[in-house]
Structure 1
Amino acid sequence: MASFNVTGVVQALDGIRTEWRDSQKRSREPDAREFPSRIALAEVVEALKGVLFPMRLGPVDLRHTSENFYVGHTLDTALHRLLDQARLELRYASRHDPRDEAALQAQAFEAIDRFAQALPAIRRQLDLDVLAAYGGDPAATSVDEVLLCYPGVLALIHHRLAHPLYTFGLPLLARIIAELAHSQTGIDIHPGAQIGDSFFIDHGTGVVIGETAVIGKGVRIYQAVTLGAKRFATDEEGHLEKGGLRHPVVEDDVVIYAGATILGRVTLGKGAVIGGNVWITSSVPPGASITQANLRHALCTDPPED
């Protein structure tokens, strides 16, 4: 039987990894792991889904009589695993400027403790999201169907978990959790986005919501909607400048139909309706109805030509 030169490939890959680690000033400790695990975080998120909705997203053999025991045990285990991942992220973030280990451990514990205390509010917010989806879709037969089947709700569960971690100083954990939902649903919500109560993403595939987007209460959007940046500022050397408010503000009760693209730090006023496949780079007044047919007339501020 023919054999492959696996040894040569292994040695070549080892050399490439060594070059990369040296260039990035990575740890050379043999037992060190420097950054969080996507696999571990996927398991934590699944556990937290069961904690939030034990009888619907928890184990199949769970009964009401043991619900609190399951929630307590699962939550404690998940939080300790999440704490381990938080420590890894904070060590990774300080790799070029090492910090006191005790201070790092304390910061990690504080962040995860704050996250744990936020879970009841997250559950209440998700209940409102589920009700918005049920109320906004005539095809929905029950709130349970919405929770179990709707990709928009799955993406929101991940976002509602990821956003506080982002806020509490763990952006890498938050981003991994967000990308787990992105890979499953095709819905890309940056964990930095601020999203109000009763948010409904219908169908969902292709939705993109940028880091600095702000979404009010009672907003409904459809598939392939983009809340993105219009342009990216660069420094003198041509490198992208990080941060900055570059995504839209969507006020309460706005509806955005399929394929609409809204770019830049513009505001969609309260109660506005944005039609399908429009391209918007200017603010929209409250209550306006924007379609392809009336877009230029509705948003143009220049005087008409003679």
Structure 2
Amino acid sequence: MFTGLSAFPLTPMNEQGIREGEFSGLVERLAKAQVDSIGVLGSTGSYAYLSREERARVTQLAVDSAGDVPVIIGIGALRTRDVLALAEDAQKAGASGVLLAPVSYQKLTDDEVFSHYEAVCCSLSVPLCVYDNPGTTHFEFSDELHGRIAQLPQVRSIKIPPVSTDLNAARERVKRLRALVPEDVTLGISGDVVAATGLIAGCDSWYSVLGGLFPEKALAITRAAQAGDNQTAQRLSSELEPLWVLYREYGGSLRVIATMAEILGNVSSPNLLLPLKTLQGDVRKRVEQVIEQLKLV
């Protein structure tokens, strides 16, 4: 479950609620494409904007729509109490695993983060992936803290931030972390732009925003890297450079992918909760041009 391609779909919604049919459709497409797992209610799924009840409903829809594909549910929240409740909901719904970021308002200490994961692991019967995302949590894991947390029961993967574009530096990064975690804990790369580099550098999985909307593109890169065909993996990633440019220029992947989903008719507009908005005007026209240029249909 924590190897290969984990595809992270959007959660289509507006101020009135979740568009359940559209969400189920996205998950069904991923299952049909035979991704290795489906990551629901991650950052791409806008988990931080939803109530417990909404998250429970999305979780159930995902499990019901995914067929035999494992579903990993994001359970991040400000309070440990709330994370425990979300973990319970995920397990009751039949999730195969959970994903936990150390969400906070006050800056957390290493000991606070460790205790947070320790409390959650003690309540779990499914495996957990540590979500290291300093861009949103503003908490930076040390390798030593990763090593401590990776010893906890139920921890089976670490979703690491983007690695260097320099392959040698990326390999050293993965090697340093690998030396500190148990053999049965996988390392997964996030950050679509450097995913090919991360996989070639030794990561076991790609936690992918691209894969949530364009699974075939992401699978091609993943399978090439898994087969040791590094040249093909890098070439396929390089061919997506016009998309990576959009990521860099417009605040990361969420707005770009959400805009593409609207343009392609996979979701209705709007599909993000205010104050978030998809790209409009001339920028939207650029996104349309990239879709046409890369044949993302």
Class of the TM-score when normalised by the shorter of the 2 chains: under 0.3
Question: TM-score w.r.t. structure 1 length?
Answer: 0.27
Larger radius of gyration: 1
